[in-house]
Amino acid sequence: MDRGERPRYELATPALTIYLARCRLAKDGKTVEQRREAMGKRIRERRRKEAAEDHRRHEEALRLAPEIAAWFAERSREATPQGGAPSVIGPTAAAPQTASTGAPA
């Protein structure tokens, strides 16, 4: 700035920013439509990968569900005193439903 130059922040205007962006983008020779299509393709590919990963995690959870249930059942048996009430640690067995008359279903 010794030589009478203007500070860089004074040169940064919206019009200059747009001009510089257009110059930089024009170097690759692509049109706006080509860039839009490429971006859409990248987004679709990323969504496809995320869906595949979600499916894989779901399948893994289904595979592990019996092992997890068995683990909780074992912990519940260990924590329950003989003849006592079940512990709150694990899942409880489904109690038989009674009708409004009180008879077992």
pLDDT digits 0-9 by tens, 55-105? 999 999 999 999 999 999 999 888 877 655 555 555 555 545 544 555 554
Say whether pLDDT at 3 is over 70: no
Query: What residue segments make up the domains of the chain, in order of their start?
Result: 10-79
Check: CB of residue 13 under 8 Å from CB of residue 21. no
Helix H or strand E segment including 61: helix 32-79
Tally of CB atoms within 10 A around 36: 11
pTM of the model: 0.45
3-state secondary structure (DSSP) of residue 70: helix
3-state secondary structure (DSSP) of residue 17: helix
